[in-house]
Amino acid sequence: MTTSVVVFGSCNMDLVAYVPVAPGQGETVTGREFRTVPGGKGANQAIAAAKAGAQARMIGAVGEDEFGAEIRRTFQQSTVDVEGLRTAPGRSGTAHIVVDDQGNNSIVVVPAANGTVDGLADGDEEIIAGCDSLLLQLEIPQSGVAAAAAAAKRRGVRVVLTPAPAVLLPEDLLRDVDLLVPNEHEAAVLTGHEDPERALSALLELVPEVVITLGSRGCVYGHRDGTRHEVPAFPVRAVDTTAAGDTFVGVLSTALGEGEEIPAALRRAAAGSALSVQRTGATSAMPSREEIVRFLVDR
């Protein structure tokens, strides 16, 4: 059974400079290499879901510049439907990333067109209503996130929220969220608890289902009815963990939409992200459905 997933969120062009040592204040350093890659958590999740086998749709905005055209092309190449992707006046969102030889990075995000996604446009509710799941993150204005979540709730569509970047969430948004998927840092910011078990219990007072991802330690799942699962990460040699969480959410939502039970869906998501961390890049590292199936058969 094919499932359909819509992302209402951000898309950026990532402008990445690779340097031996990152510059300090007032300093200029010479970089080794420069790359542009479409990114943003919304775009990443849409592409992860499409590669994992979902019919994926993207609602959001790019600017009128060449970056916008390139982001749009990338969606089309990844079979993500762009009927809901608007072109806003001005520039596309950009992320200015400096990566040093230790793999540490510093990032400046300029939201630009993403800042215009502050509510539903004509046709958005129909797109959302035609899907099984709505994936949300927090890189667009909160009014846009809340409007999309409310539309999904009205139409009986599952709402999955990645609370990144982490900020305290208003109650009216939380009321509409079915599944919250923070990483451990976001879970700690939202609850004040560093311990994942305590954070999980606190988050389950806000929403019915929670997955906290724990990097190479896997993830913990909880449901308000008392169900708990711990799923270890697959032991692989990680070279680049960029967008591991976005891959996880895209694959998880696809599996749940296809009717998989939670333990199997979490395992599939762990497999998808284990494959992605073994390759460099964000969307370019995301595995296809066939790769995920093969990976799981071997284990």
CB-nearer residue toward ligand ADP: 82 or 262:
262
CB-nearer residue toward ligand ADP: 72 or 268:
268
Q: How far is residue 1's CA from residue 244's CA, in Å, rounded to a whole number?
A: 25
φ, ψ of residue 166 in degrees (nearest 5): -70, 120
Nearest distance in Å: CB 223, ligand ADP: 18
Nearest distance in Å: CB 240, ligand ADP: 10
Task: Tell me how many residues contact ligand ADP (CB under 6 A).
Answer: 19
Cα 45–55–1 angle (5° rounding)?
A: 120
- Annotated active-site residue 246? The verdict is yes
Q: Which of 8, 234, 250, 254 binds ligand ADP (CB under 6 A)?
A: 234
Nearest distance in Å: CB 211, ligand ADP: 8
Site string for ligand ADP, 237-256 (x = CB under 6 A): -x--x--xx--x--------
Q: Report if residue 105 touches ligand ADP, rule: CB under 6 A.
A: no
Q: CB-based contacts of 26: which residues, under 8 Å, 6+ apart? A: none
Q: Report if residue 233 touches ligand ADP, rule: CB under 6 A.
A: yes
Q: Which stretch binds ligand ADP (CB under 6 A): 44-52, 108-116, 149-157, 214-222?
A: 214-222
* Amino acid in position 214: L
Q: Report if residue 273 touches ligand ADP, rule: CB under 6 A.
A: yes
202: annotated binding-site residue?
Answer: no
Q: Which stretch binds ligand ADP (CB under 6 A): 16-24, 80-88, 118-126, 271-279?
A: 271-279
Residue 239 near residue 213, CB atoms below 8 Å: no
Q: Report if residue 210 touches ligand ADP, rule: CB under 6 A.
A: no
Dump the DSSP string for 77-125. HTTEE-TTEEE-SSPPEEEEEEE-TTS-EEEEEE-GGGGG--SPPTTHH
Alpha helices in the chain (DSSP H): 41-51, 66-77, 124-129, 142-154, 171-174, 184-191, 196-203, 244-257, 262-277, 289-297
CB-nearer residue toward ligand ADP: 118 or 240:
240
Q: Give the residue from 13, 17, 247, 242 showing the smallest Cα distance to 114.
A: 13
Q: Give the residue from 250, 287, 244 showing the smallest Cα distance to 46.
A: 250
Q: Report if residue 295 touches ligand ADP, rule: CB under 6 A.
A: no
- Tell me the two tokens of residue 100: 């040093």
- Tell me the two tokens of residue 282: 């964000």
Q: Report if residue 219 touches ligand ADP, rule: CB under 6 A.
A: yes
Q: Give the residue from 32, 34, 102, 112 showing the smallest Cα distance to 71.
A: 112
216: annotated binding-site residue?
Answer: yes
Dump the DSSP string for 160-193. EE---S--PPPHHHHTT-SEE--BHHHHHHHHS-
Q: Which of 55, 92, 114, 183 binds ligand ADP (CB under 6 A)?
A: 183
Nearest distance in Å: CB 91, ligand ADP: 26
* Amino acid in position 269: A
CB-nearer residue toward ligand ADP: 151 or 231:
231
Shortest Cβ contact with ligand ADP: which residue?
Answer: 245
Catalytic entry in 81, 132, 178, 246 = 246
139: annotated binding-site residue?
Answer: yes
Interface with ligand ADP (CB under 6 A):
183, 213-216, 218-219, 233-234, 236, 238, 241, 244-245, 248, 270, 273-274, 277
Q: What residues are annotated to the active site?
A: 246
